[in-house]
Structure 1
Amino acid sequence: MVDLEQYLPILIFLFIAVLLSAAFVFLPMGVSRLTGAHNPNAEKLSEYECGFPAFEEPRSQFDVKFYLVAISFLLFDLEAAFLFPWAVSLEFTQWTGWIGMMVFLGILAIGLAYEWKMGALDWQ
């Protein structure tokens, strides 16, 4: 038979995690209602991240600029992610690694200049 006492610390941990999670979710909502900070209006309830209403006709046209900026952000975020291991291993890769990274950064700089020239970064 399995000794269930060895699972007690896990159950205690799960209970504390659920309790803290619920506190972090519901406590700020309750405090805002008690202090009067809960004041929803049309501007607060409007969409702010995607730029268009979430529930509308699925075949309607929408502006693609948001997605172009988001893809550009991801591209340059990944560039930064490649810079960290390159900087750590530069003493091993020496000039070959340095030249390779400069070519990579040059290609990204040309892409950014093209994107800027085409007006993909202009928000209207």
Structure 2
Amino acid sequence: MLLEYIPLAYLILIAVSFGLVTVLLSSLLGPRRQTAVKDASYECGLPSEGIQYTQTPIKFYVVALLFLIFDLECVFLYPWAVHLGSLGLAGFFGVLVFIGILLVCFVYEWKSGALEWD
């Protein structure tokens, strides 16, 4: 039973070994010259201008997280669409309940103002 996993163990061992060897070789053989140009800030190929650090509004993170949540839910709909014919009417009504829950959550987020930038 466990003999079937030996090729997988070899593959994992080779992958981990390759990663460790390349990191070790690059740290041993790579150049270590620090210059002012390497330590300078870099922004789109031009020297940085203005304030380097600004606080990002929390609204950006809220909208980003909401996008990820609803986007992930859309990914769950793909397997359903592929197997719709074999799921029958029960699968159809099941996904209608799923989409209904998503719609209620979306309306709640919309009404609570989480999607507003003001």
Structure 1 match to 2:46: 38
Structure 1 stretches of 4+ with a deviation exceeding 6 A read none
Percent identity (aligned):
42
Which range is displaced more, 68-77 or 92-101?
A: 68-77
Q: 1:48-72: CA deviations, max 9, x gaps?
A: xx715xxxxxxxxxx4x33322321
TM-score normalized by structure 2? 0.56
Structure 1 unaligned residues grouped into runs of 5+: 1-6, 19-36, 53-62
Structure 2 match to 1:51: 56
The whole-number CA distance in structure 2 between the counterparts of 1:76 and 1:87 is 17
Count of residues paired in the alignment: 89
The yes-or-no answer on 1:96 pairing with 2:90 is: yes
RMSD: 3.6
1:46 to partner: Cα distance: 4.1
The whole-number CA distance in structure 1 between the counterparts of 2:53 and 2:94 is 46
Q: 1:10-47: CA deviations, max 9, x gaps?
A: 7xxx6xxx8xxxxxxxxxxxxxxxxxx4231126x345
Structure 2 unaligned residues grouped into runs of 5+: 1-13, 27-44
For 1:80, the aligned partner's letter is C
The whole-number CA distance in structure 2 between the counterparts of 1:104 and 1:93 is 15
